[in-house]
């Protein structure tokens, strides 16, 4: 998606430790018209696919998921990073290791909101090592629902998540910008 790549080139900041800061338009301050274009692009990528629910994970996926849902005309469900013990039986639970924060979360979704008949599109802002997205696919599996695919705004193509999800897990992953490499000195290079 050229509009997105142009914006990353213009406003993205590469920091040491493979960090790509896009917090001026995507995940701290949010440029709503850009995210509307992102939502429409996800709809084009998954045109013809039946989707009944969009599933994302708090926090930075939520806004993108909500605006994408306007193109798909379906509800959003966001998985919660649990801080409290939950009663077994009421929720699907999976564990997600956070690279950024160095801890493992319990991630939960109420069983009321994902059913075997659901056809689920996953949406998230970033795909890097894939831990969040793998956790969400696990929740879809626990629900017995159908996984349609995953729509990702920015994929760090030099990390293993995208390859693992596509090649090993067989998930259709549509990333709107895939970073092939990046460095503080050289900036961002996109795949293709």
Identify the H or E element spanning 33: helix 32-45
**30 makes contact with a second copy (CB under 8 A):** yes
Q: State whether residue 87 is helix, strand or coil.
A: coil
Q: Is the dihedral of CA 79, 52, 177, 63 positive or negative?
A: negative
3-state SS record for 118-166? CEEEEEEEEECCCHHHHHHHHHHHHHCCEEEEEEEEEEECCCCHHHHHH
Smallest separation (angstroms) from a second copy to the CB of 25: 8
Smallest separation (angstroms) from a second copy to the CB of 108: 9
User: What is the per-residue binding string for a second copy in 65-94, x denoting contact by CB under 8 A?
Assistant: xxx-xx--xxxxxx-x--xx----------
As a whole number of angstroms, the distance between CA 102 and CA 35 comes to: 29
Q: State whether residue 71 is helix, strand or coil.
A: helix
Cβ closest to a second copy, residue 23 vs residue 174? 23
Q: Is the dihedral of CA 151, 177, 24, 103 positive or negative?
A: positive
Q: State whether residue 90 is helix, strand or coil.
A: coil
Q: Which of residues 9-28 bind a second copy (CB under 8 A)?
A: 23-24, 28
Smallest separation (angstroms) from a second copy to the CB of 1: 19
Cβ closest to a second copy, residue 53 vs residue 178? 53
The separation between CA 38 and the C-alpha centre of its own chain, rounded to angstroms, equals 12
Span interacting with a second copy, options 104-112, 129-137, 155-163, 173-181, rule CB under 8 A: 104-112
Cβ closest to a second copy, residue 133 vs residue 178? 133
Q: Are the C-beta atoms of residues 42 and 70 closer than 8 Å to each other?
A: no
**101 makes contact with a second copy (CB under 8 A):** yes
Q: How many CB atoms lie within 10 A of CB 99?
A: 13
Q: Which of 113, 158, 164, 190 binds a second copy (CB under 8 A)?
A: 113
Span interacting with a second copy, options 32-40, 127-135, 140-148, 182-190, rule CB under 8 A: 32-40
Residues that bind a second copy (CB under 8 A): 23-24, 28-32, 35-36, 58-60, 62-63, 65-67, 69-70, 73-78, 80, 83-84, 101, 103, 109-110, 112-113
């Amino acid at each position: 998606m050229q509009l997105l790549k142009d914006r990353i080139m213009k406003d993205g900041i590469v920091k040491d430790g493979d960090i790509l800061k896009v917090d001026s338009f995507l995940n701290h301050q949010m440029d709503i018209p850009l995210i509307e274009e992102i939502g429409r692009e996800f709809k084009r990528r998954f045109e013809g696919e039946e989707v009944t629910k969009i599933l994302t994970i708090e926090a930075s996926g939520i806004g993108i998921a909500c605006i994408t849902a306007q193109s798909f005309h379906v509800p959003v469900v966001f998985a919660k990073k649990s801080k409290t013990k939950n009663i077994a039986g009421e929720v699907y639970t999976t564990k997600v290791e956070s690279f950024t924060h160095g801890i493992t979360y319990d991630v939960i979704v109420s069983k009321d909101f994902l059913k075997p008949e659901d056809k689920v599109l996953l949406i998230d802002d970033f795909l890097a090592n894939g831990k969040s997205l793998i956790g969400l696919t696990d929740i879809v599996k626990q629900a017995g629902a159908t996984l349609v695919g995953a729509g990702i705004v920015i994929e760090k193509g030099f990390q293993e998540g995208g390859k693992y999800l596509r090649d090993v897990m067989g998930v259709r992953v549509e990333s709107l910008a895939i970073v092939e490499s990046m460095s503080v000195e050289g900036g961002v290079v996109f795949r293709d």
